[in-house]
Amino acid sequence: MSAGSSFKIIKYKEVSEKRAVIGIGNTLRRDDGIGIIVLESLLNFYKRKGIDYFNFSSATFDLLSRIKTYDTAFFIDAINADLTVGELKISELKDIEYKLDNSFTSTHELNLKSMLELSKKLGIKTKIYLAGIQVADTSFGEGISEALEHKKEGIIKEIATFIDKTF
């Protein structure tokens, strides 16, 4: 190379999207623990490299604070939406805004409607997906209902497929 030659140095920015899967639930309130049960199964059998997994006992303000550092977050939670027990609904949070009323609620202190409103007010840019699983029994006790137990494996597989395709 001659002294007069110049090199153009191209720097490649590593594009790495931060992704999180978050199970929400209380395993001491029967079916309410399904979000945690699904999360544990994902960790044991379907864990994907490059995804952070979190176990939250409830949807709280801390949860919104934590997800703001992620590009995409996927919540798995029990819902009460008058669906068939074990029915799974997966939607992007912005797409279910119009559906949220008292008939489509989480069983935690921060319901889906409140989460949507707060994420907007706080300027959180994270793309949020929700997997809502219809439950039957959220009374105090351990273990999920028989009806939900029969659907559990199918729910886990469907969620794992969604993660593979979307994340």
**Mean pLDDT value of segment 159-166:** 96
Per-residue pLDDT, 108 = 55
**Mean pLDDT value of segment 108-137:** 82
Domains and CATH numbers, the chain: 19-166 (3.40.50.1450)
Q: What is the DSSP letter of 44?
A: H
* Bridge partner residues of 91 (DSSP): 130
Closest to 133 in 3D by CA, of 87, 102, 100, 75: 87
Per-residue pLDDT, 58 = 67
Is a pLDDT exceeding 50 seen at residue 102? no
User: Residue 81 in contact with residue 134, Cβ under 8 Å?
Assistant: yes
Helices then strands, counting H and E runs in the chain, come out as 4, 6
Per-residue pLDDT, 120 = 79
Is a pLDDT exceeding 90 seen at residue 115? no
Task: Average the pLDDT over each of 2-6, 35-39, 70-74, 124-128 and give the range with the smallest value.
Answer: 2-6
Per-residue pLDDT, 132 = 94
Residue 29 parent element (H or E): none
pLDDT single digits (tens) 3-33: 555 555 444 333 479 999 999 999 999 999 9
Q: What is the signed CA dihedral for 77, 52, 156, 74, rounded to 10 degrees?
A: 40
DSSP symbols for 75-140: EEEEEESS--TT-EEEEEGGGGGGG-STTSEESSSS-HHHHHHHHHHTT---EEEEEEEE-S--SS
Q: How far is CA 23 from CA 3, 5, 73, in A?
A: 60, 57, 11
Is a pLDDT exceeding 60 seen at residue 98? no
Task: Average the pLDDT over each of 20-24, 84-88, 98-102, 121-125 and give the range with the smallest value.
Answer: 98-102
End-to-end distance of the chain based on CA atoms, in angstroms? 45
